Structure 1
């Protein structure tokens, strides 16, 4: 833009800098809590410097423009404010500049190239600043995500260590009590409630042992074995029967009784307990409470669907529902479904959750190599 016209425009802008800057700032939007509030006017003045250098044809104006764009984008990220305010303020600055230029005594046909050049300048500045802002925000999100993942790993490690210590300290005296109860049952088989006590102690031992699943597999876990899923489902429903009755929940099951799976029997049982208990909690406010359990073979795989007619899980929760420490319940630990995913993926399978206004379904797929063919 160098030449007589460019020099005249540059001289005019130099002489009317404060007027132009004040017009710009009076129309700009600024968050009063912005830590860079006082810097906004300085940035506007620096942009005017770039415009003047461009009008004079200085080769350094593009480097100065990129440097200013980087500076502003960094400040917008640090301020943690909406980028839309910045975009609006750039548009206001462009309008303020174009409203001043016609005041110069220059023929309109000579001003067209000027408007074109300044438009390009503002476009490049806006593009560079927003591009840099997006890159910085993406980097910030990646760092935050890595921090959260590491925090979860640290919490799980600590929880696993605490659980392991708790289980070993608790299980030893519990085993002694169970042993004495069995001796009492042999010596006094007709003793009232002895069978109930023995059953409850066995269930307590089972529940305590599950804490080890948070960090590792229990040392006394038997080897993988073939077992019928139908048997596990019936055992689980019998175990949860008091809760099911007290919650007034109707449970229906439609199972391929011949379906035989290979894995850790107690872990599959824990998956069923966690999902059914979650379903019972989800049905608390429903007048009609129904849980449906289906198990069937499909192209060599085995599918297990556990559905309830409770309220829909919010879409933003579905994608994170199996993450550790994420819970839809106010007092939930966020560990139950995480363990379910850990167990199922540990057996080479997948678990998903689908939810709408009609029902919520946990869909489990056990791969072919873990399913015994019945043909």
Structure 2
């Protein structure tokens, strides 16, 4: 049987529709071909970069050309996993990079964009960790609440039997400390009921949060809004979303201290995956502050209970916020650097509108 090579037109169509980025460089490391996936990665057009060095259009071009030069010189293929490339100032992507020499001193570059897969894995880990932590804490909290109740009850009985009024000061300390610990334990337990959802407007929730925070904010702190009015109403429990967002915005308020800016921004995004569940439409809420940033050593653990960078903090606010958003099928993510911290709340929209 003779296998016939596919027509060049068919090959072109296949390459054009690959999710894999493909770039062909000539012997002078000029771009001879770039498919749409690679154009999207580097935010360039084929017409723009054709017959030109890629380094003119993206900082990543220098890295790719250096590796391509080595491939041409050695005549051997080259592969690097999870390579972080700067595609524009301050914007990076993570790729698996493969290069191979071709006849006529050309180099074929293949770029497998990993950020979406890495983000999905990270999100799923966040959800799994949150669920495991909540289960552990619920068991621990119940074990603590039982003896606390007995301790408080015994102190109350003892107080009734004491004839000396001055000694009741000590029983009051026991009762007050038992109450304080019970409040802390209840915070660890978080919400114990499923949300009673109804149709709500996301911006009404954010405006409520903004009003509460502005009443607490020092005069040197501004709270700005950047809303997308096209976001449809969604099915949610408004008090839970208010509480989740308020926890995040109050953290931002404490981060900026006496002077700074907090921005509430909303957008929609299509074809987005939360954890491992794909959604046709999601709402994105960004809470951005101009504070000093979150210390790198705790950034990966900030949604765990009792993790905080503030001496007076309990470390419960973000953990509870994550749980409340998880109950709506959503997720909270965070990125932080000095001068800018962004908490992003993702909430599914399409299920409430006919999918």
- The answer to whether the superposition gives a TM-score over 0.5 is no
| TM-score in terms of structure 2 length | 0.44
- Which one has the largest radius of gyration? 1
Hey, which of these two has a bigger chunk of strand by percent?
Answer: 2
